[in-house]
Amino acid sequence: MINLLVTEKQVDKKLMKLRRMVMTVTSGILVAYLVSVGGFGGWTWYVTSKQNRINKEAEKLLTQVKAEAQTEALIRKLAARAELVEKAVRERGSAGEAGKFLVDTGNKVQYWNYSPAAQAAGIIGESAEDLSLQTGKLTDKYLRVGLKSAMWQKDKGWTGEINYEGLKANDTAE
């Protein structure tokens, strides 16, 4: 005779074991889930309240900044125009300084043509060496200096035409 009761008890025992394991795992998952939901809820609350606080602060500051709109417009206008002034001064060159330098060289100037990009001067000299000497004085300030032509006439003596352009690095204004 086969004892069926023993087999049924064994099955019940295995089932109980399985049940206990499933219940434990499920409970663990449930706890983890509840903790996550709680955390998410807390994070939601934190973010929302932080946003509300920042929005309120931004609104308050905006009102205060808008009340100072005239001063802000003044600052923006000044910043823009100060830059324009600087650009205008930088770009206009300095004809006065160029003229002063030519005067200070002591060269005997017959004519002088100036543009912000390049200059030319006609000079009178006592000799070819003198013309060369007068040309050399301009090399202190300018990068490219050249005696374009030299001429001797009995009644006028020596005349030369000097072309020069480009300020040297230590002379920024022209």
Partner 1 sequence: MTQQSNQTIFKKWLWVGYPVVVALMIVWTVQFMVTGGSDIWVNMTQNEEETRKQEELVAILRQKLKILQGVNREELESDLRLAVEAVPPVQKAWQVVTQLRVAALESGSVMKSFKGAGGETKEASESARIDETKPPLGFNAVFTVNDLTQAQRVINSLEGKLPLIRVNSIKYLLGEMDIEVTGTWVGWTKLPEQAYSLPLPEYRIASGRMRTLLAGLVSVGDVSGEFTASGAGQMANPF
We find the least distance from the C-beta atom of residue 141 to partner 1, in angstroms, to be 15
Residue from 7, 10, 55, 127 in contact with partner 1 (CB under 8 A): 55
8 Å CB contact between 150 and 163: no
Which C-beta is closer to partner 1: that of 96 or that of 155? Answer: 96
**Total residues in contact with partner 1, by rule CB under 8 A:** 64
Question: In whole angstroms, how far apart are CA 138 and each of 44, 108, 142, 162?
Answer: 77, 13, 6, 9
Site string for partner 1, 22-51 (x = CB under 8 A): xx-xx--xx--x---x--x--xx--xx-xx
Q: What is the DSSP string of 116-151?
A: SSEEEEEEEESSHHHHHHHHHHHTTTEEEEEEEEEE
Does 21 engage in binding with partner 1 (CB under 8 A)? no
Which C-beta is closer to partner 1: that of 1 or that of 88? Answer: 88
Q: Please tell me the distance from the alpha carbon of residue 22 to that of residue 102, in angstroms, as a whole number.
A: 103
Which residue's entry shows tokens 């000044």?
78
Distance from the Cα of residue 171 to its chain's centroid: 26
Which C-beta is closer to partner 1: that of 1 or that of 101? Answer: 101
Q: Please tell me the distance from the alpha carbon of residue 165 to that of residue 61, in angstroms, as a whole number.
A: 56
8 Å CB contact between 123 and 117: no
Contacts of partner 1 in 110-169 (CB under 8 A): 110-116
Task: Provide the binding-site residues for partner 1, judged by CB under 8 A.
Answer: 15, 19, 22-23, 25-26, 29-30, 33, 37, 40, 43-44, 47-48, 50-51, 54-55, 57-58, 61-62, 64-66, 68-69, 71-86, 88-89, 91-96, 99-100, 102-103, 109-116
